Amino acid sequence: MSIIKLLDEFTSEKLTTKSSSRREMFSTLSSFGKKAAMAAVPFGLATNKASAAAFFQENPAVDALQLALTLEYLEAEFYMKALDSGVLNGNQRAMDAYMQISKHEDAHVAFLKAGLEGAGATPVESPTFDFTAGGAFDPFNDNGIGQETAYAQLLALAQAFEDTGVRAYKGQAGNLMGTAFLEPALQIHSVEARHASEIRQIRGVEGWITGNGDNAAAPANSETAQNAYAAVYEGEGNTMQGGLDLTTDITYASEIVGDLNAAVTQAFDEPITAEQATAIASLFIVSDSDGDDSDG
């Protein structure tokens, strides 16, 4: 599939039309994500066709950084809006955390942009985000869901974004091997994990992931929310490491406290592919392609 054809498909895909249901959109995104990943195109491209040629150079490292930048755009805007929303008022630990995280995500955006430019690539532009995911959530209490529910969703979405970020960076490490970007990417990766741990604990759940995300609740009971959460944590319950099933193939020299399977899944975070990260993030991305094929 040519890059142009792929881009055309992206911008004309049903998933980007506002009329399709978000649930349908989410499942469609999964299949689209596969195509995108196979062509090694970061999804941020969809917002700016003209810049496609600038960095579509069969360079997996550049693609990895573009994906990372798009995820950082999402996080940076989310935390900025969260702090502006007033929803955190009265929750000092959360307020402190969001301020610190917001500072880091802004720094990551600047760092990745500079890195891409330094490598001669044009950084993708920020997509347009919709943190309600088409009305499924109301984290900033813009639509009157109420402070308490908005606060719960604000934390749950932050957790999903951070845990996704951890998984996405991990999944891109291989693409950055042998480049000067590997170490800084790892240094961002562990910061995202610190963020995830703190957000989870503010929610009252453990800082680490049990099974396929079993120890933390989705941001809402809707099917959209449940499906999205399932996608964020799919595969986290893996117990195979280095060819060994750590629940059966090892005799531990010290006794494990509580459930071994839970502990094993907590002890290792699992990567996701660019395709998976794209599918998750795209739930919150508004395509600007409707009737607008200009350069953005």
Residues lying near other proteins in the complex (CB under 8 A) are found at 92-93, 96-97, 99-101, 103-108, 110-111, 166, 169-170, 173-174, 177-180, 182-184, 186-198, 201, 206-208, 241-244, 246, 249-254, 256-258, 263-264, 266-271
| 244 strand-pairing partners | 241
- Shorter beta-carbon distance to other proteins: residue 242 or 291: 242
Q: How many residues does the chain have?
A: 296
- Shorter beta-carbon distance to other proteins: residue 4 or 99: 99
* 104 close to 191: Cβ distance less than 8 angstroms: yes
- Give the Cβ contact number of residue 292 at 10 Å: 10
> What whole-number distance in Å separates Cα of residue 26 and Cα of residue 15?
8
The phi and psi torsions of 274 (rounded to 5 degrees) equal -60, -35
Cβ 215 to other proteins, closest distance in Å? 11
Cβ 182 to other proteins, closest distance in Å? 5
Q: Which two structure tokens, joined as six digits, stand for 114?
A: 């500079």
Cβ 137 to other proteins, closest distance in Å? 25
- Shorter beta-carbon distance to other proteins: residue 144 or 243: 243
Q: What is the DSSP pairing of strand 285-286 with strand 244-245?
A: unpaired
What is the maximum alpha-carbon separation in the chain? 64
What SS3 state is found at 240? Answer: strand
- Shorter beta-carbon distance to other proteins: residue 27 or 201: 201
The phi and psi torsions of 99 (rounded to 5 degrees) equal -65, -45
* Rg (the chain; Cα; Å): 19
- Shorter beta-carbon distance to other proteins: residue 144 or 178: 178
Cβ 146 to other proteins, closest distance in Å? 26
Q: Which residues contact 197 (CB under 8 A, 6 or more apart)?
A: 207, 208
Cβ 95 to other proteins, closest distance in Å? 10
- Shorter beta-carbon distance to other proteins: residue 27 or 215: 215
Cβ 51 to other proteins, closest distance in Å? 24
